[in-house]
């Protein structure tokens, strides 16, 4: 505790006399949640906590996701949406409570960089309602705490690993340089640091270095208000900001299904349509989605209103792989307003066992060999959940043939070390948009066929979106039917598909039951399997 007090004193400094500006907040807000908070009920991170009239910051809660959300203060937007003095007074009281309980000791989850950056962004964005009707004493406490937290975040940012959290910290610090009275040099320094993150973390094709499509939404949600704040104040935005955001928007278009939903690769989870559209409405770029993302290593096939997106890349290294999933060569299929074949996705709410299962190869629409995943993960508390082995190389070639089909062939080495085998997948989408042709091959390291005595079990999985009805006829054909009547048939050559129970993790309401199609074969007996998805009925008008 004494160390905490010393740390706070170390970052003490002058108290600003005012806030210069308040950025907007693009996140969806619900005034009914403000009513719940006023009643002492906080629903966050999959938990509901009733404070019974006490301080939410002094209640013991084991759910760390809840604690992070609570201390991140993103829920202030709901108080703003309520738009009445009682909600504003409640917001002010809760902020003052936090300053009293947590503001003197720089320790614990409340001061982890991601939480701290979220809180600063929320406090700046919602300062108009927090400060409305405030007396001089609170106004000064608020500004003093904000300045202290900014100095502390600035101190730790330089030592942070170069991942999404550092990017977010740089956004918060750039926002602080505009919202708090700052010298021109301080504004330029914050701008340069943010420029560096854009340059190093946003790839030339617009993807994030983590390969997680969802990171783009999170970053754009904060970058858009920041860019507008620079413009409103007549300040020059960071040099790379406009071009970097344009690339990110292009990548986001790539990662959207025909239904408008986000693909579920490498840590991505369900995103509400309102949240996604709230970001995309600011997209000033034009044109159709890319056919390929050569730096992020994804493929996109599209014809008519049918879209296939596939993961054809190895995981990033080190800390950047902490959200990577073992879904190499997995794909998702959407048509019209529906997703048909998907991956299980990451849980919307942090749940350690669900998150571990969601990262396995078996949770993806690809092939599993020997009941193993194509990536291995660290369970060390020091390293974190990073990738420690598996896929290192993916070879991709185009199978596009103009006027006939789009397609690709990709081979990964994720099982080379453990089983001395390679997985090659070929997928073609016919130009009609009515048929997807697939082939999965299991090869030896020299790309020859496995020997007959190889008893490795292979399972090709096709996870079906939980909104799709699934049935199988006497001939073994699996029928997938959406609520609007559109239907697809799944057929395989020389193998009868099975329909099995499944879990879809990426749902806004929490993990839910679903179904999967599986094709099982022994590598030494059948090293290749061909399958098709054929549209059999269009949606009702």
CA dist 245 and 250 (Å) reads: 9
Average pLDDT, the chain: 94
First to last CA, the chain: 66
Phi and psi, residue 405, nearest 5°: -165, 160
CA dist 386 and 316 (Å) reads: 9
Which tokens hold the place of 159? Answer: 């030592």
What pLDDT digit, counting tens, does each position of 517-526 carry? 999 999 999 9
Determine the pLDDT at residue 9: 59
Half-sphere exposure of 396 (CA within 13 A, CB side): 22
User: Do residues 132 and 182 touch, judged by C-beta distance below 8 A?
Assistant: no
Q: Which residue has the tokens 């090869």?
A: 443
Who's near 101: CB < 8 A, 6+ residues apart? 55, 57, 58
Helix (H) or strand (E) holding 332: strand 331-335
Distance from the Cα of residue 524 to its chain's centroid = 38
What pLDDT digit, counting tens, does each position of 187-196 carry? 999 999 999 9
Number of helices followed by number of strands (H, E) in the chain:
15, 21
CA dist 426 and 460 (Å) reads: 13
Which tokens hold the place of 70? Answer: 């609570």
Helix pair angle (184-201, 164-179), 10° resolution: 160
Helix (H) or strand (E) holding 158: none
The answer to whether residue 350 scores a pLDDT higher than 80 is: no
- The helix/strand/coil state of 467 is coil
- The helix/strand/coil state of 335 is strand
Determine the pLDDT at residue 289: 87
What pLDDT digit, counting tens, does each position of 69-128 carry? 999 999 999 999 999 999 999 999 999 999 999 988 888 999 999 999 999 999 999 999
Determine the pLDDT at residue 353: 78
To 10 degrees, the CA torsion angle through 524, 526, 528, 534? -150
Determine the pLDDT at residue 17: 84
Q: Give the C-alpha distances (Å, rounded to integers) separating 370 from 3, 314, 379, 405, 530.
A: 51, 20, 21, 33, 20
What pLDDT digit, counting tens, does each position of 411-442 carry? 999 999 999 999 999 999 999 999 999 999 99
CA dist 105 and 110 (Å) reads: 10
Determine the pLDDT at residue 5: 45
Do β-strands 435-444 and 421-430 pair in parallel, antiparallel, or remain unpaired? antiparallel
The answer to whether residue 446 scores a pLDDT higher than 60 is: yes
Do β-strands 331-335 and 457-464 pair in parallel, antiparallel, or remain unpaired? unpaired
Determine the pLDDT at residue 11: 67
Residue 372, number of CB atoms within 10 A of its CB: 18
Helix pair angle (241-254, 213-232), 10° resolution: 150
- Single out the residue of 456, 462, 457, 455 nearest to residue 498, CA to CA: 462
User: Do residues 41 and 56 touch, judged by C-beta distance below 8 A?
Assistant: no
Render 474-541 in DSSP notation, one character per residue: TTS-EEEE-TTS-EEEEEESSS--EEEEEEE---TT--EEEEEEEEEEETTT--EEEEEEEEEEPPP-
Phi and psi, residue 308, nearest 5°: -120, 125
User: Do residues 452 and 472 touch, judged by C-beta distance below 8 A?
Assistant: no
Question: Can you give 303-320 as a three-state secondary structure string?
Answer: ECCEEEEEECCCCCCHHH
Question: Can you give 262-299 as a three-state secondary structure string?
Answer: ECCCCCCCCCCHHHHHHHHCCCCCCCCCCCEECCCCEE
What pLDDT digit, counting tens, does each position of 133-182 carry? 999 999 999 999 999 999 999 999 999 999 999 999 999 999 999 999 99
Query: Quick one: average pLDDT of 361-384?
Result: 95
CA dist 398 and 421 (Å) reads: 22
The reported pTM is 0.94
User: Do residues 57 and 97 touch, judged by C-beta distance below 8 A?
Assistant: yes
The answer to whether residue 3 scores a pLDDT higher than 50 is: no
- Single out the residue of 306, 276, 304, 309 nearest to residue 290, CA to CA: 309
Render 228-257 in DSSP notation, one character per residue: HHHHHTTPPPPTTHHHHHHHHHHHHHHTB-
What pLDDT digit, counting tens, does each position of 6-30 carry? 456 566 677 888 999 999 999 989 9
CA dist 319 and 382 (Å) reads: 11
What pLDDT digit, counting tens, does each position of 527-539 carry? 999 999 999 999 9
Please tell me the least confidently modeled range out of 281-290, 381-390, 516-525. 281-290
What pLDDT digit, counting tens, does each position of 224-242 carry? 999 999 999 999 999 999 9
- Single out the residue of 200, 178, 154 nearest to residue 22, CA to CA: 178
């Amino acid at each position: 505790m004494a160390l905490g007090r010393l740390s706070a004193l170390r970052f003490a400094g002058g108290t600003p006399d005012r806030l210069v500006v308040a950025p907007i907040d693009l996140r969806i807000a619900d005034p009914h949640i403000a009513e719940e908070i006023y009643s002492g009920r906080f629903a966050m991170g999959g938990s509901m906590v009733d404070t019974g009239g006490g301080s939410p910051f002094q209640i013991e809660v084991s759910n760390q996701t809840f604690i992070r959300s609570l201390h991140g203060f993103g829920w202030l937007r709901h108080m703003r949406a309520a738009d009445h003095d009682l909600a504003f007074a409640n917001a002010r009281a809760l902020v003052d409570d936090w300053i009293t309980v947590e503001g003197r000791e720089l320790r614990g989850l409340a001061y982890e960089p991601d939480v701290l950056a979220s809180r600063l962004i929320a406090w700046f964005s919602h300062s108009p309602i927090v400060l409305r009707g405030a007396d001089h004493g609170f106004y000064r406490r608020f500004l003093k705490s904000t300045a202290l937290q900014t100095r502390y975040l600035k101190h730790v940012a330089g030592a942070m690993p170069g991942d999404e959290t550092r990017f977010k910290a740089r956004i918060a610090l750039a926002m602080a340089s505009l919202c708090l009275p700052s010298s021109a040099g301080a504004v330029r320094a914050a701008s340069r640091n943010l420029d560096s993150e854009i340059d190093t973390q946003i790839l030339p094709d617009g993807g994030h270095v983590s390969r997680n499509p969802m990171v783009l939404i999170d970053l754009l949600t904060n970058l858009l208000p920041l860019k507008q704040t620079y413009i409103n104040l007549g300040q020059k935005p960071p040099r790379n900001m406009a071009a970097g955001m344009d690339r990110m928007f292009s990548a986001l278009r790539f990662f959207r299904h025909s239904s408008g939903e986000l693909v579920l690769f490498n840590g991505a989870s369900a995103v509400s349509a309102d949240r996604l559209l709230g970001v995309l409405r600011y997209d000033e770029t034009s044109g159709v989605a890319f056919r390929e993302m050569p730096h992020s290593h994804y493929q996109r096939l599209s014809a008519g209103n049918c879209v296939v997106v596939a993961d054809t890349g190895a995981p990033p290294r080190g800390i950047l792989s902490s959200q990577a999933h073992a879904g190499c060569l997995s794909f998702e299929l959407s048509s019209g307003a529906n997703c048909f074949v998907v991956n299980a996705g990451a849980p919307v709410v942090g749940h350690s066992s669900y998150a571990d299962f969601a990262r396995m190869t078996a949770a993806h629409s690809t092939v599993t060999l020997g009941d193993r995943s194509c990536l291995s993960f660290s369970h060390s508390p020091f390293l974190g959940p990073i990738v420690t082995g598996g896929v290192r190389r993916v070879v991709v070639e185009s199978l596009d043939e103009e006027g006939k089909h789009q397609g690709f062939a990709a081979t990964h080495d994720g099982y080379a070390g453990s089983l001395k085998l390679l997985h090659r997948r070929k997928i073609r989408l016919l130009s009609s948009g009515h048929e997807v042709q697939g082939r999965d091959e299991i090869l030896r390291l020299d790309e020859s066929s496995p020997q007959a005595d190889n008893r490795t079990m292979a399972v090709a999985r096709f996870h079906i979106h939980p909104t799709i009805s699934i049935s199988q006829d006497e001939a073994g054909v699996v029928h997938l039917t959406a609520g609007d009547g559109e239907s697809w048939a799944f057929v395989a050559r020389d193998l009868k598909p099975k329909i099995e129970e499944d879990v879809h993790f990426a749902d806004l309401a929490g993990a839910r039951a679903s179904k999967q199609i599986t094709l099982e074969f022994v590598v030494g007996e059948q090293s290749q399997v061909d399958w098709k998805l054929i549209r059999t009925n269009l949606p009702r008008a």
